Structure formats: structure tokens, C-alpha cells
Amino acid sequence: MPVVTSLALPTLLPLLALFLIAPLSGLSLDYQQLLKWLPYPLFIMAAGLGHMYSLGRPVALALILTASYLVLQGPLQSNLSVIPTHQLFVLLTLLLPCSLLTLSFLPESGSLNRRFVLLLLPTAALTGIAAIFWQPSATAPSEWQTLFSLRPAPAVFAPIFSLLLAVVIALILLFRQTLLQCPWQGTLLGCLVATSLTWAMFDKTLISSLMFCTAAVVLILSVLFQGHYLAFRDQLTGLPARRSLENAFKGVGRRYVVAMMDVDHFKKFNDTYGHDVGDDVLKMVAAHIAQVTGGGTAYRYGGEEFTVLFKRKTLDDCIEHLEAVREAIADYSLVIRDKETRPKDAKAGKQQRGQAIRGQRVSVTISIGVAEREPGVDQPMQVLKAADKALYRAKQAGRNCLKA
């Protein structure tokens, strides 16, 4: 997912929403009341979408934000100068960021199953700890409660420790987003920004409704982006899937080239070394094909077959770029490790890549068939079938070659 959608968009939306504070404060009481109820259907929508795509973390986040908003619209609507109410506010400003941080580290486990409960356990544990150690007093808070209630400025309602905690958690989410390239971290960051603005500007009219609506929109967009990724991306290789290719065919224009690629002797290779190694081969081949130059876009067509689409190109424009991919794959030496030396995680595997640690080196080749749009072959699927026939000729010619 591009950085603008995975990180910049979730972070900027709450900041842009601040410009709506003045117009919203001028609304009639009926419309203001309507806005106060708006986050609930939005969170229900986010949870429903998450469940539809079997994404447990968005469902858990929707439930946590809903619970927080219920507290904001219930007990915290009274005077914050009352000690128990103010202490509840401080507690919420500390608990919610911690809950977002725990969701950052928990793996996706699907929705509404036994493992889904694990997503809610950290928040429940934090709430339980707070209930035990944070005892609201109707008379005077303890010294440490007073310390955690310190504000950086009279105009800022958020306690200074809550803001510092939010900054630390934001940096952690940014680091994990950079490290993992996971859009989920950007979603959590957007919700963190929205809720932190709520604490800081708690005296503003409708600030909690506006910011929690924004957090719900960030969450909904995140689920939709993830759903789109699941539908249009191949999970093994990360390449656009066949459905993406079919969509691309709808706007190819009058001049384009289609290349079909197939891993040579893949079934024999898979039977010899196992499916895990076969998956590694597909990922390696996909990584090389994705780097094709000349304006080509790579897709996984299915199985061990890949497709490259060149828009606004002729056959002569594309041959050298496809040959470069074929040669790069043929020259690549893949290390087959046994179960004892095979790394158990991706990071260790990356460090050992290219090192023959008690393993066998093998080479993989691909065959390529290419076709372009021409009279009599002027529909995308016709061009694709022509490329597939050319691929068959490449197989018949001895493999590891290109035929047009």
C-alpha cells in the first residue's frame, strides 16, 4: 500500500477535521445531537466490515473506541473540576493509547473466534489494573494522581504525561510502519492522533464527536484498503493478482503487449524439494519479474504462471526488458537448506540468503511467450491467449527462452 494511504492519510485526516470545529459549533442543537450519535453507526460499520473480511484487529479497535466514546459521552460530560470525574478523564487518556499500542503488536487472528478474545485481553487487563490501583477520591487525589494530572498549559486539557505517552507511542508506530510496511500501524497512528486531539481540546464544542467520527472513518478506510488488498493482491508473492490484470485490461488502449511466463519444471521441482521450497521459488521469481523495466507491470496469473502487461508499447520495445528478467532469474542461485539449517523467521532467512549453509544450490529458469495487439487479435483476452500459445512454443523449443 502506498505511503500516502497507509500513513499520511490516516494522520492528516484528524488534523484536517480540526477546521470543522468552528462550523459545527454554529449548528442547531438538533444537528449537534445528531453528530453526537454519529460515531456509533460508524464504529458498527467498521466492525461489520472487519468481520466481513475476517479481520479481528479492526473489530477489536472499533469496540475499544466505542467503549471510550461511551465514557466520554457519559460520566465525562459532568464537570471535570469534580475530582472523581477528572481522575476518570486522566485514566482514559492513559489507557486508550496503551490499548492502541498493544493492538500494534498483536497478530491478526480473525474475528469473532477464540483467538479474537486475545485482542481484547490487553485492554481488559489494563482496565483491571487501573481499577485496582487508581482509586478515585471524592475529597483529594493522592500525590501520584496529582502528578499524572499536570497539564502543559491552561488551554490544554490533556495531562502532560498523557501527551508524552502519545508521542512515544506515535514514534513506536512510525518505526513499526517503516520496519514492517504494515498499513495497520498507520491506522493506529491516525486513531492516536484523533484521540489525543480530543484530550488536548476537550473544552471545544463537539470535539469528542468530531474526532471519534474521524477515527471511525480512518478505521473504515483501513478495512476497505485491506479488503481491496486481499481481493486484488496475491498473498504469497505480493504481486497484483489475476483480478487486477482483468481490471487493467479494461483500459489498455490500442497499443499494448502481453507476456506470459511460466517456471520451468516447477512440478518436478516442487515434488523433489517440497511445497515450502516451491513457495520460495515462486517468491524469488515474482521478485525478479516485479523489477521488469520498460514500463511493464507484473501480475501473478495463477500457479507458477505470471503475466507482464506493457501499455502503449510495441513488441520490439519489450523484448530486451523481458530477456533481462529471464536472464536474471536463470543466473540467480537459490540455496536449498535442510530443516535443521532453515531459518525459522524471515529476518534470519534474509541474513543467510545467498550463503550455502549445509544446503544445495539450484537454478530456476522461466519460459516466456509474448504477443501484441494486432489486426485479428485486438481484444485483451485474445492477445493473452496468443501470448500463451507463444509460451507453449517456448516450452517446446527447450525452455528458458522467449518466443513471440
Active-site choice (108, 143, 246, 304): 304
Question: Other C-beta atoms within 10 Å of 393: how many?
Answer: 14
Report which of 216, 90, 202 is spatially closest to residue 142, judged by C-alpha positions: 90
Q: What is the 3-state secondary structure (H, E, C) of 22-33?
A: HHHHCCCHHHHH
Is 379 in a helix, a strand, or coil?
A: coil
Q: How far apart are CA 85 and CA 23, in angstroms?
A: 29
Rounded to the nearest 5 degrees, what angle is found at the Cα of 286, between the Cα atoms of 307 and 387?
20
Q: Which residue has the cell 525459522?
A: 344
Q: Report the half-sphere exposure of 178 (CA within 13 A, side-chain side).
A: 6
262 within 8 A of 391, measured Cβ to Cβ: yes
Distance CA 218, CA 85 (A): 29
* Residue 304 is a catalytic residue: yes
Q: How do the residues of the chain divide into helix, strand and coil, expressed in percent and rounded to 5? A: 60, 10, 25
A 10 A CB-CB count for 259 gives 30
Residue with cell 500494534: 104
What does the block give as the cell for 286? 515474482
Sheet holding 256-263, edge to edge: 296-302, 305-311, 256-263, 366-372, 402-403
Coil, strand or helix: which one is 19? helix
DSSP assigned state of 53: T
Q: What is the C-alpha separation between 156 and 164, in angstroms, rounded?
A: 13
Alpha carbon 363 to its chain centroid, in Å, reads 33
CA distances from 32 to 7, 40, 68, 208 (A): 30, 15, 19, 12
What is the DSSP code string of 204-256? Answer: STTHHHHHHHHHHHHHHHHHHHHHHHHHHB-TTT-SB-HHHHHHHHTT--S-E
What are the residue numbers of the active site? Answer: 304
